[in-house]
């Protein structure tokens, strides 16, 4: 009895030290160095109560980190101290996403340290496998035309279109065909729906739905406080998701047995097999590459269309359509010409700056080191989470004025002209990081931008004279299009076929 009591007491003390006292002391350690923490940030719970409020406004939790314009500040995330701002050379990947959509592909590059698991070789093969821009353009443009026809997106149709449904269909078909091939993604899976009933659906629908459900499940309050809880079979929903994950992983393994020629899957498999990289790692890299082209691309297109259809941006809409029509009139491949569409590119890049779909780069210190920020050196302890908030970088007026241009429009204003005037400077700076930088840079950056450009070009060509209908209860201050947002709008096609575009001065 005494032994049991002693053991229980020891365990309780260990838990108290590991999850509470150590956290408190580490926070005080950084505060004594002058690092300020976000408002209402409590022990263990961190600022997650504020995050819940942000989610209700279609804002992701990185909005917390725009309130401190300094280069380094702190918060508590779960049972660890998290420093937001500059990163250092002694950090590596440590992301809560491993317990979210990482359950689909835990050995994917996204979740692994950079010097293990043959990271660099796999990154090279995946990047090369996704570089067939001609094939990508042919798939994406054909799928865009089919989607627009399916949803009757055309001047004069008078149709009201749910933009989310349209983009769900297009992104699934485009990403699935590009990665796996048209025949492979035609297979159906019987997954458990939210009522616990088996329901047959196409592979890409099942993958997209499970991916989205995993993210939203992991974003619940206690799962945000303690990341690993989201991956444990503690709830009926988590067990349902586990069942669907097994089906999807088995389906991807089956597709790898019958790779279609020239697909990303076939190219990456062949290269990785020659390098002796385990099949499980290849599978997880391909799954992550597939889902990366779903909600992120959808959010990017929704944000771009929303701003394009705002009345104050009518002149941009006209200039971009004129630019697209001019490119079409010139000889050459359109997938090459789209890279020379400065107005279209500027508008998309400003959308990614203004409201990046996903905007945190999660790392942790792998050893004690000194980090220079705010004009001084800080002593960083091993295990401290070091997180770059892309959203905060994109809103840092002081940094942009210093590194880009002192006279540009304020960053809380949507102004694509900043990319027309300072594109090279912005891209090369560390002020703008929608795709990350360095070895962790998104391998699908080029493919993602191509997909957005193709869809916007096709949409404007078919439906220049359209207008946007936003739900009455969705005010401007809650209309944001990150990957956690539920904001939406509908497209109303102009029903007067004889109506011509009204010239607008640039």
pLDDT digits (tens, 9 = 90+) for 306-336: 999 999 999 999 999 999 999 999 999 999 9
Q: What is the pTM of this model?
A: 0.92
Please report which confidence band the pLDDT of residue 7 belongs to, taking 50, 70 and 90 as the band edges. low
Contact 76, 504 (CB under 8 A): no
Residue 194 token pair: 């939210």
First to last CA, the chain: 84
Nearest to 447 by CA among 164, 137, 85, 63: 137
User: Region 177-204: what's the mean pLDDT?
Assistant: 96
User: pLDDT digits over 440-489, tens only?
Assistant: 888 888 999 999 999 999 999 998 889 999 999 999 999 999 988 999 99
pLDDT value of position 501: 46
pLDDT at 77: 83
119 or 494: whose pLDDT is higher? 119
Looking at residue 166, its pLDDT comes to 96
* Residue entry with tokens 């002209």: 417
- Identify the pLDDT of residue 419: 94
With a cut of 90, say whether residue 19 has pLDDT above it: no
Please check whether residue 499 is in contact with residue 465, taking contact to mean a CB–CB distance below 8 angstroms: yes
In this structure, are residues 301 and 293 in contact, taking their beta carbons and an 8 Å threshold?
A: no
Examine the pLDDT at 102 and tell me if it is beyond 90.
yes
Asked if the model's pLDDT at residue 192 lies above 80, the reply is: yes
- Backbone CA torsion sign across 440, 443, 446, 452: negative
pLDDT tens-place string over residues 339-379: 889 999 999 999 999 999 877 889 999 999 999 887 889 99
Question: For residue 379, how far is the Cα from the chain centroid?
Answer: 31
């Amino acid at each position: 009895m005494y032994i049991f009591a002693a053991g229980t007491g020891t365990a309780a003390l260990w838990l108290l030290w590991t999850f509470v006292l150590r956290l408190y002391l580490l926070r005080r350690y950084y505060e004594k160095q002058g690092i300020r923490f976000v408002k209402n940030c409590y022990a263990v719970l961190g600022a997650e109560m504020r995050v819940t409020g942000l989610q209700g406004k279609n804002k992701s939790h990185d909005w917390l980190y725009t309130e401190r314009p300094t280069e380094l500040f702190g918060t508590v995330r779960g049972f660890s101290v998290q420093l937001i701002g500059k990163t250092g050379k002694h950090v590596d990947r440590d992301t809560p996403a491993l317990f979210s959509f990482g359950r689909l592909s835990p050995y994917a590059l996204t979740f692994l340290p950079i010097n293990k698991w043959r990271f660099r070789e796999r990154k090279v093969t995946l990047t090369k496998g996704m570089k067939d821009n001609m094939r990508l353009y042919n798939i994406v443009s054909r799928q865009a035309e089919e989607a627009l026809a399916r949803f009757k997106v055309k001047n004069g149709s008078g149709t009201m279109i749910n933009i989310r449904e349209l983009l769900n269909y297009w992104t699934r078909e485009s990403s699935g065909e590009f990665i796996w091939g048209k025949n492979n993604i035609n297979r159906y899976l019987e997954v458990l729906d939210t009522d616990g009933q088996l329901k047959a659906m196409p592979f890409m629908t099942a993958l997209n739905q499970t991916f989205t459900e995993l993210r939203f499940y992991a974003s619940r309050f206690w799962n945000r406080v303690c990341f690993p809880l989201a991956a444990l079979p503690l709830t009926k929903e988590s067990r349902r998701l586990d069942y669907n994950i097994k089906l999807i992983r088995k389906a991807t393994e089956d597709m790898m047995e019958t790779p279609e020629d020239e697909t990303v899957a076939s190219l990456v498999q062949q290269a990785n097999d020659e390098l002796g990289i385990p099949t499980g790692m290849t599978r997880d890299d391909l799954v992550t590459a597939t889902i990366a082209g779903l909600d992120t691309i959808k959010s990017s297109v929704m944000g771009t269309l929303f701003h394009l259809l705002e009345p104050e941006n009518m002149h941009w809409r006209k200039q971009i359509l004129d630019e697209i029509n001019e490119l079409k009139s010139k000889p050459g491949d359109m997938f090459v010409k789209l890279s020379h569409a400065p107005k279209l590119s500027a508008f998309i890049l400003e959308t990614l700056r203004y409201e990046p779909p996903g905007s945190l780069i999660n790392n942790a210190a792998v050893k004690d080191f000194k980090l220079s920020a705010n004009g001084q050196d800080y002593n960083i302890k091993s295990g401290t989470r070091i997180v770059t908030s892309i959203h905060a970088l994109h809103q840092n007026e002081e940094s942009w004025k210093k590194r880009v241009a002192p006279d540009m429009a304020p960053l809380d204003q949507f102004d694509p002209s900043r990319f027309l005037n300072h594109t090279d400077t912005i891209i090369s700076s560390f002020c703008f990081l929608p795709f990350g930088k360095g070895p962790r840079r998104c391998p699908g950056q080029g493919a993602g931008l191509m997909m957005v450009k193709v869809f916007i070009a096709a949409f404007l060509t078919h439906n220049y004279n359209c207008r946007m209908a936003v739900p009455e209860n969705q005010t401007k201050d809650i209309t944001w299009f990150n990957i956690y947002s539920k904001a939406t709008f509908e497209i109303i096609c102009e029903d007067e076929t004889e109506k011509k575009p009204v010239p607008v001065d640039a």
